[in-house]
């Protein structure tokens, strides 16, 4: 069976995340998106863990179910800050866990090393090597996946505190790493320019800081396996049943190219290289993005054996761009979004399958055109840099002018 899963989630107790997120929100918006299963997020946080246990029921295969029969698996993200090889490291890892018993042991082990109550994404001063040793001593069924692998500040391959390979980070424990998360600023094609990564499968999850559908499921992984923890993990470990990923176009990510937010400077890797990675405005080091890091480590001019993936900017953001609306959560945007959902079921179906002929029956043709362009990878995007998201660039003839029909007319 085909399963689309997002296994990098946060609850409301994680810093810089929405304080209103609930299990019910996650379920509702996952269904709007077209997701079939979610990670719980923040499994070890005392208050979120309590909410998980009060709202979800675990079956014998390790899957947790809502009262409406929507599935979750135990999941969290942990931040590690330490020194290795003479350099300070700040690395985030996704952790997938098989059942409550293992989660309880995981919590017990974390408490011996620090606090877990102050943040859903707690920080520990242990190395990635020690972290894997700790988790594997609890259960061989725990899966560790380097999160948003190329992000400048917290990715295993990031420019600020990362490594040049998975093996450099994990040493001999790299044998327990089976996949890396591509992150929003990279895609499978970019990753497959580096032969050292060939042995690692590629997964993609959204790391949303809110449960709204323009963040939840913006990246996801497609499985073809039974809906059990064991089968999902086997797909990640072996690649059997790992069918591909749904990605955000990497240019749309916040760390795709190089730059300085404060200086309003953004440069591609060739321009940065000529400047020796120094900002031409303030003469300080640039924040080097994913594109540069990929090119720095690539040993192929062209990618090889690229797994299946599709690139999509979330529907809500397309609606905002076409109608010139700045607020993603505005009433007018929800009108168009919910109208499409009521007709076509979920966002993935709209973005990937519904024909233009069917779309223009209920929405403006300009929006329908942008949905098709998005599907075909033909949108122009101003790349993101130094924490600034990329921007969709539309021509004037692609924008619905205010004097035209209002959103409520469609």
Residue after which a domain boundary falls, among 211, 227, 252: 252
Stretch 204-226: mean pLDDT, rounded? 97
Q: Is residue 291 situated within a structural domain?
A: no
Asked whether residue 88 falls in the same domain as residue 174, the answer is: yes
Q: Report yes or no on 60 lying in a domain.
A: yes
Whether residue 335 sits in one domain with residue 219: no
Give the residue carrying structure tokens 């020796």. Answer: 276
pLDDT digits (tens, 9 = 90+) for 326-337: 999 999 999 999
Residue (of 194, 189, 166) closest to 93 by Cα position: 166
Please answer whether residues 374 and 327 qualify as being in contact, where contact means their C-beta atoms are separated by less than 8 angstroms. no
- Smallest CA-to-CA distance from 205 within 35, 330, 322 is with 35
Whether 226 and 338 share a structural domain: no
- Asked whether residue 319 falls in the same domain as residue 395, the answer is yes
Rounded to 5°, the CA angle 381-198-272 comes to 40
Report whether pLDDT(271) > 90. Answer: yes
Is 265 part of any domain?
no
Q: Is residue 355 part of a domain?
A: yes
Assigned domain for 111 exists: yes
Q: Give the total number of structural domains in the chain.
A: 2
- 207 shares its domain with 318: no
Instruction: Tell me: do 92 and 212 sit in the same domain.
Output: yes
Query: What is the number of H-type helices and E-type strands within the chain?
Result: 14, 17
Residue % of the chain over a pLDDT of 90 = 97
Confidence of residue 126 (pLDDT cuts 50, 70, 90): very high
Same domain, 98 and 237: yes
pLDDT band for position 380 (cuts 50, 70, 90): very high
Residue 147, H or E segment: none
As a whole number, the mean pLDDT across the chain is: 96
Q: Is residue 108 over pLDDT 90?
A: yes
Per cent of the chain over pLDDT 70 is 98
pLDDT of residue 242: 98
Tell me the average pLDDT across 144-157. 96
How many CB atoms are located within 10 Å of the residue 275 CB? 14
93 & 226 share domain = yes
Final residue in a domain of this structure, among 252, 267, 295? 252
Of residues 184, 376, 118, 392, the one with CA closest to residue 110: 118
Q: Which helix (H) or strand (E) holds 122?
A: none
The rounded distance, in Å, linking the Cα atoms of 63 and 3 is 13
Q: Are residues 36 and 169 in the same domain?
A: yes
Q: Which domain holds residue 402?
A: 314-409
Residues 236 and 358 both lie in one domain? no
CA distance 297 to 164: 7
Tell me the Cα Rg of the chain: 21
Q: Residue 10, Cβ neighbours under 10 Å: how many? A: 31
pLDDT category, 1, cuts 50, 70, 90? confident
**Is 45 part of a structural domain of the chain?**
yes
Q: Tell me, what's the pLDDT at 410? A: 40
Looking at the fold, whether 230 and 318 belong to one and the same domain comes out as no
pLDDT band for position 401 (50/70/90)? confident
**Domain boundary residue, one of 252, 274, 305:** 252
Residue of 163, 144, 160 lying closest to 152 (CA atoms): 160
Residue 226 belongs to a domain: yes
Task: Indicate whether 246 and 322 sit together in one domain.
Answer: no
Alpha helices in 112-220 (DSSP H): 128-138, 166-170, 188-191
Here the CATH number for the domain that contains residue 39 is 3.20.20.140
């Amino acid at each position: 069976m085909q399963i689309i899963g997002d296994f990098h989630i946060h609850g409301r107790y994680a810093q810089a995340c929405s304080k209103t997120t609930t299990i019910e929100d996650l379920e509702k918006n996952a269904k709007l998106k077209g997701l079939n299963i979610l990670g719980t997020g923040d499994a070890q946080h005392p208050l979120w863990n309590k909410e998980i246990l009060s709202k979800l029921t675990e079956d014998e295969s390790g899957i947790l179910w809502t009262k409406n029969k929507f599935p979750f698996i135990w999941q969290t993200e942990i931040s590690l800050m330490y020194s290795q090889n003479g350099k300070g490291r700040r690395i985030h890892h996704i952790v997938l866990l098989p059942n409550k018993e293992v989660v309880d042991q995981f919590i017990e082990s974390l408490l011996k090393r620090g606090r877990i109550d102050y943040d859903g994404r707690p920080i520990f001063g242990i190395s990635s090597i020690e972290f894997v040793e700790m988790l594997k001593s609890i259960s061989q069924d725990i899966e560790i996946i380097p999160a948003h692998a190329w992000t400048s500040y917290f990715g295993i391959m990031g420019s600020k505190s990362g490594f040049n390979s998975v093996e450099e980070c994990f040493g001999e424990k790299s044998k327990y790493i089976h996949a890396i998360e591509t992150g929003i600023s990279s895609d499978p094609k970019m990753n497959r320019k580096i032969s050292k990564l060939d042995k690692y499968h590629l997964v993609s999850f959204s790391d949303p800081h809110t449960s709204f559908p323009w963040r939840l499921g913006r990246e996801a992984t497609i499985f073809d396996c039974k809906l059990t923890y064991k089968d999902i993990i086997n797909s990640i470990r072996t690649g059997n049943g790992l069918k591909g990923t749904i990605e955000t176009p990497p240019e749309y990510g916040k760390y795709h190219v190089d730059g300085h937010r404060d200086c309003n400077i953004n440069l591609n890797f060739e321009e940065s290289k000529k400047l020796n990675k120094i900002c031409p405005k303030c003469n300080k080091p640039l924040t080097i993005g994913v594109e540069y890091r990929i090119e720095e480590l690539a040993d192929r001019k062209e990618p090889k054996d690229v797994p299946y993936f599709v690139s999509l900017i979330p529907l809500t953001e397309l609606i905002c761009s076409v109608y010139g609306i700045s607020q993603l959560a505005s009433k007018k945007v929800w009108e168009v979004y919910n109208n499409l959902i009521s007709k076509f079921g979920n966002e993935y179906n709209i973005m990937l399958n519904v024909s233009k002929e069917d779309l223009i029956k209920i929405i403006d043709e300009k929006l329908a055109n942008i949905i098709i362009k998005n599907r075909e990878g033909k949108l122009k995007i101003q790349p993101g840099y130094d924490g600034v998201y990329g921007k969709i660039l539309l021509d004037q003839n692609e924008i619905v002018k205010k004097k035209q029909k209002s959103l409520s007319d469609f």
